[in-house]
Structure 1
Amino acid sequence: MSTLQGSALNKINRRFRYNLCYFGRPPWDTGISPPELIEYLQNTTPGKALDVGCGTGTNLLTMASYGWDVVGFDLAWISVLKARIKLLKAGVKGRVLYGDVSAALQPGTDFDLILDIGCYHGLSPQERANYRRNLARWLKPGGNYLLYAHLKTASTALYGLSEADFDGFSEFLNCHWRVDSPERRPDGGGGNPASWTLFERRESTTRGC
Structure 2
Amino acid sequence: MAQPGRDLGVDIGLSGLTKWIRYPRVGDEAAGLDVVRSCADQFGGAFARPLLVDSLRLLDSPLSERTITAVWLAATFRDFDLERLGVDGREWLRGIVGICSDRIRRDDPSFTPTAAGPVADRAMTEAVLTEIRSVAESLEEACAHHSYNAVADVVPALEQVVTEADPDLGYRLLLRVMKAYFIPISEARYERYLALGEEFGLGEDVVDDGDFNIWPDLD
Sort the TM-score into its range (normalised by shorter chain). 0.3 to 0.5
TM-score (norm 1): 0.32
Q: Which has the higher contact order (CA 8 A, sep 6+)?
A: 2
Larger % of strand: which? 1
Larger % of helix: which? 2
